[in-house]
Amino acid sequence: MTRLPLDGVLVADFGRILAAPYLTMLLADLGADVVKVEQPGTGDDTRAWGPPHAQGEATYFLSVNRNKRSLALDLRDPADHARAVELVRRADVLVENFRPGTMDRHRLGPAAAQALNPRLVYCSITGFGSGKGADLPGYDLLVQAVGGLMSVTGPAPGQPVKTGVALVDVLTGLHAAVGVLAALRERDTTGRGQLVEVNLLSALLSGLVNQSAGYTLAGAVPGILGNRHPSIAPYEVFPAADRPLVVAVGNDRQFAALCRGLDAPELASDPRFTTNGDRVAHVEALAAALTDRLRLRTAAEWFTVLTPLGVPCGPVNDLAGAFDLADSLGLNPRATLP
């Protein structure tokens, strides 16, 4: 096997549930030796989160814990605590996502851990930071709600919906991975470890990108648009003859190509639809006109017609269809899955 970028890096993983385990899984995929510390008898909570199961294991747990070793330690037990201390002394990275103060009570908080090991990169993941929000519980669904994601997600105004996966946890794990890698790079220069602090709320507000910028720069408070985009049209789901079809037109050239593919030149010359701004302003009329045409053929037929013209489109696949697509494109989607 070829050498991986993080070969030789030892990670003491005190994380559980999703955000922290996702981070440490990424580090393991890059070659780090990840030792996952779990509570004796029960282990990570997600070991019990099923169905579904695979060979007796909860697939939720398996989804974020590949390539790791497991070590059962009760940090309240003196002998187990001593083993944890020894692990921290040898580790390059420590990751934890307990409530703020928990690791301090176990004498393994940032100051204590870096006193044991000055080269240690210490990553702490919380729900709402370690200051005034320290006592708030950090659950993905809660942060989706109070962090604004659900306010822009759903079929219609007044009908907020969570995302189909714990997206905030995943975003936070990715942000934390960037922070840990940057801290390791800094350690290469200075020889000293760093403290990396990431919280779910801040990661979500960063991940809201254009919606956050619309508020902070222009004072625009977005609402629920269903499957539509606040700044682009047509960019939504339409009914084809057999199943839903996404059309994701990002510029005027693509819209002109869409009109050619639909054999609807009158739409391209309609002053309501000339520019993207015009189309956003008249999105209801545009959607009605496109729906009339897209209903006439199946999603697969439209994909065959429109894709060669440079029009981004595709059917709404279930997960089996998504994996089939990735396989057909040679992406080998199972290579990095449990």
Active-site residues: which are they?
Answer: 169
Query: What tokens does 96 get?
Result: 């934890």
CA angle 173, 176, 181 (to 5 degrees): 125
Spatial distance between the Cα atoms of 51 and 30, rounded to a whole number of angstroms? 29
DSSP 8-class letter at 56? T
Distance in angstroms between the alpha carbons of the first and the last residue of the chain? 19
Contacts (Cβ under 8 Å, ≥6 apart) of 244:
237, 238, 299, 315, 316
H helices present in the chain, as ranges: 19-29, 59-63, 78-90, 102-105, 110-116, 140-146, 167-190, 200-207, 209-218, 252-261, 265-269, 276-281, 283-294, 299-306, 319-328
Burial 23-36 (b: 16+ CB within 10 A, else e): bbbbbbeebbbbbb
Q: Cα-flanking dihedrals φ and ψ of residue 22, to 5°? A: -65, -45
Contacts (Cβ under 8 Å, ≥6 apart) of 53:
59
Omega before 265 within 30 of 0, i.e. cis: no
Spatial distance between the Cα atoms of 202 and 222, rounded to a whole number of angstroms? 18
CA angle 1, 92, 126 (to 5 degrees): 110
Count CB-CB contacts under 10 A for residue 175.
Answer: 22
The partner residues of 269 in beta bridges, in order of sequence, read: none
The enclosing H or E element of 96 equals strand 93-96
